[in-house]
Chain A
Amino acid sequence: MVWAALGLIAATLARFAIADAASRMMIGTALAVAAFAIVALFLAMVGFARGEGWFARLATPTLFGLLLLWLWEMLVIGFAVPFVLLPPPSAIARAFGTHLGLLAQDFAQTYLHAVIAGYALGCGTGFLVALAIDRSPFLKRGLLPMGNLISAMPIVGIAPIMVMWFGFEWPSKAAVVVVMTFFPMLVNTTAGLAEVGAIERDLMQSYAARYGATLVKLRLPAALPHIFTALKLNSTLALIGAVVAEFFGTPILGMGFRISTEAAKMNLDLVWATITVAALAGSLSFGALAVLERAVTFWHPSFRGSS
């Protein structure tokens, strides 16, 4: 704890010292403070890694992440890396602050329109088709290898075709997302529906449960872990699909558009700020789904064991 505090203070000092170092020839002092900061943070992490409890579990990766960001900042400033190569995190944070409105518009265009519409439609139809082919072993045996095959393909490649079909606006991006998310959902839901053992099925049979009742009360709950796997996988795929589709043509908004045009204009701080938005959106949706999964499938062994 003490080491962590000392390390963070020393790291902050070193950050200012290195900025001044070039003008006042204090490079030695700056390096000494930086070395102390690294050692202190390292000791703090070793200490936290031994500890138990949620605080220690959270503190180690947080410190590690901070250390990486700080090293990035120090190295970029210390070695005077050109801005067009790699802007320091502080510049990215500043760009994030100044272009907040623009980033919000891009986010709305890409995430709120294309990703969410495509994700809902793709996952929804994947789920429904899985339910529909559930009663036909013939279709299942035909469609599943097909689904596995297509899941293994570089589907992002259909982005130019979708842009041609649906135009430059967000529906073309949503279409790419639909195709990307459909097959993982189909394959995982079908696998989940097959999850229930013979004993449980027999029990439902002995209750004279109809197909619908067995589906709703037994097989769908049992399939939930698989469905959540697909939902989590798709949340990342959807964002990738929408961003990459924007590389092929888009109106003057959108995160993919921002990344490609600002990279061409060498405004790398804004590019990195957009990437930060994408990373945050991806992690937060993934995290939200993980929390939901924990709440809905609390009975699953993978959660029971860890508590």
Chain B
Amino acid sequence: MRGGRLSSTREGAILPLIAVILALIAVWYVGAVALNAPQAREQLAEGAGLRDLAAATWSMTRPVLPAPHQIAVELAQSLFTHPVTSPRSLVYHAWVTVSASLAGLGFAFVLGLLLAIGIVHVRLLDRSLMPWVIASQTVPVLAIAPMVVVVLGNLGITGLLPKAAIAGYLAFFPITVGMVKGLRAPDPLQRDLMRTYDARPLQVFSLLRFPASLGFLFPSLRIAVTLALVGAIVAELPTGAQAGLGARLLAGSYYGQTVQIWAALFMAAAMSMLGLAAVSLIETLAARRRGGRL
């Protein structure tokens, strides 16, 4: 029954979503005409009609705003025409960025989990560390990204590690905060029950606190996935990195290759959605093991 209700609400959302996306694409095409018109007029002969103008604005090599189909063509070309290992393939660049953010995410997960365990169990850490963890969220962490890359580069550490460090630094805050909340989620009644069972601290953790925290872990993981990707992309900006989605963005902005920028952006968005889908999949699997509910 529950599945049936769920699918019906989803059906209810799909039609409006498609309508909104179609409207967005239509606005995009009109916007492409409007923004590219000054440039396109220079190339067109006198007396060219509106239809010629539209066609010209939708097929420029360096448009101010490329039309959606141009981006789609560029995406398809850079995805499928080159071998995956060639630097001209977007898959290669996406992998460079994604591998850095995955490494950072792993680092963030371990660190966030350890910090949360410490904060929940040790009062001193709770009082001294927690305010700084919260305060650090208000700091524009990304502004430090170029610094870390430069510092680590001076130490001779380049490539994946600096990017992973920034991705991890960004991603570990939501995980820490979410896990602290989650590990504290069991109420006193449940903790008392564990006491009456004479449970050891490790058992309280593995049987009560950790399972209770899963419901908080997955929402924070979703935020962390996006942040890790953003961190890896931004970390590629200041060093003049040769590969990665951030490098593609930077190269595109240097040479005015707007289509390339948009293709890299859409690739980044696709990677982010892939990450979110992976988290949802793990969440569903975890929920299934627990009997359908987190």
Contacts and interface: CB of A to CB of B under 8 A. Distances in A.
B137 interface: yes
A143 B12 CA distance: 13
B276 A278 contact: no
B238 A143 contact: no
Interface string B69-112: 00000000000000000000000000000000000000000000
A259 interface: yes
B69 to A, nearest CB: 18
A63 B127 CA distance: 11
A156 B234 CA distance: 8
Given A49-B123, A57-B127, A84 B154 contact: yes
Contact of A283 (B124, B126, B128, B139): B139
Nearest to B170: A240
B56 interface: no
A236 B124 contact: no
Interface string B125-137: 0111111100101
A146 B16 CA distance: 10
8 contacts: A48-B127, A63-B128, A142-B13, A161-B261, A163-B253, A235-B138, A239-B143, A271-B147
Contacts of B17: 141-142, 145-146
Given A157-B265, A244-B237, A46 B124 contact: yes
Interface of A: 45-46, 48-50, 57, 60-61, 63-65, 82, 84-86, 138-143, 145-146, 149, 152-154, 156-158, 160-161, 163-165, 235-236, 239-240, 243-244, 247-249, 255-256, 259-260, 263-264, 268, 271-272, 274-275, 278-279, 282-283, 285-287
B229 interface: yes
Contacts of B294: none
A238 to B, nearest CB: 9
Tell me whether chain B's interface is mostly helix, strand or loop, or mixed: helix
A263 B144 CA distance: 11
Contacts of A158: 265
Contact of A260 (B139, B146, B229, B261): B146
Nearest to B9: A141
Interface in B224-277: 226, 229-230, 233-234, 237-238, 245, 249-250, 252-253, 256, 258, 261-262, 264-265, 268-269, 272-273, 276
Nearest to B268: A154
B249 A60 contact: no
Contact of B226 (A85, A152, A272): A152
Contact of A154 (B18, B151, B230): B230
Given A243-B143, A275-B147, 20 more contacts: A50-B123, A57-B127, A61-B130, A146-B24, A153-B269, A154-B226, A154-B272, A156-B234, A157-B264, A160-B250, A160-B253, A161-B253, A164-B258, A239-B140, A244-B142, A244-B143, A247-B238, A278-B140, A278-B143, A285-B138
B6 interface: no
A145 B19 CA distance: 12
B166 interface: no
A164 to B, nearest CB: 7
A84 B132 CA distance: 26
B132 A64 contact: yes
Contacts of B64: 164-165
B230 A260 contact: no
A263 B150 contact: yes
A141 B13 contact: yes
Contact of B272 (A152, A239, A255, A275): A152
Contacts, number: 163
Contacts of A140: 16
Interface of B: 12-13, 15-21, 24, 35, 64, 123-124, 126-132, 135, 137-144, 146-147, 150-151, 154-155, 222, 226, 229-230, 233-234, 237-238, 245, 249-250, 252-253, 256, 258, 261-262, 264-265, 268-269, 272-273, 276
Scoring A154, A158, A249 by chain B CB atoms within 10 A of each residue's CB, the highest score goes to: A154
Nearest to B231: A154
Nearest to B144: A275
Given A149-B273, A165-B64, A263 B238 contact: yes
A61 B130 CA distance: 8
Nearest 6 pairs of A and B residues by beta carbon: A142-B16, A160-B253, A142-B20, A64-B128, A286-B138, A61-B131
A282 B262 contact: no
A244 B238 CA distance: 10
A269 B21 CA distance: 48
Contact of A244 (B124, B130, B137, B234): B234
A158 B230 CA distance: 12
Nearest to A86: B151
Contacts of B222: 152
B147 A263 contact: yes
Given A61-B128, A86-B151, A243 B21 contact: no
B249 A157 contact: yes
Nearest to B151: A85
A49 B127 contact: yes
Contact of A145 (B13, B24, B141, B269): B13
Contacts of A264: 150
Given A154-B233, A249-B253, A85 B154 contact: yes
